[in-house]
Structure 1
């Protein structure tokens, strides 16, 4: 398994946590998700992305990210991208770009409204 983040401090937290686990085979990698991934094509069985794509603002960044994810996935694999969109249009932007890069995308919204406190 690969844990990928641009933040060295987040990876340190992950490393500190993982060091308490007896048998944990997770490689930590620091890098920019809009650049080429240090992985062979078709090398991943799946992708789980948590709170990453909402930080990508330019269409070119979003497209680069999805292209690299698609390149690294094996045929018939699954990718899940969890994010917090700023608006319905923002969410649609990700689905549109993902579809143009080869994914068959679906948007599932959970609690798409703010609950008054």
Structure 2
């Protein structure tokens, strides 16, 4: 009976020591730059199409950054072929470009104070 209690105590100790070091070894969660201080919030004057384009631009830049592609908004399919109706294409593309540029600046140079 004593050996079982000893074994349980050893296992409990080993688990408490090993689990945190495993978590630390994994590093920070991916996309940590994505959640800092609302830098990725669309401008307040944007309506639905503008907010969508801005968000898609940020996501496009994030994908380029994660895949080690040179940032170039003109290489994004969403920019070249906007997923909106003809009347909204210009607004979507302008807000996409703005979101893309903001994200590239943020990811390359860090948050601006």
More helix by share: 2
Please tell me whether Structure 1 or Structure 2 has the larger radius of gyration of its CA atoms. Answer: 2
Question: When the two structures are superposed, what TM-score results if normalisation uses the length of structure 1?
Answer: 0.31
Question: When the two structures are superposed, what TM-score results if normalisation uses the length of structure 2?
Answer: 0.32
More strand by share: 1
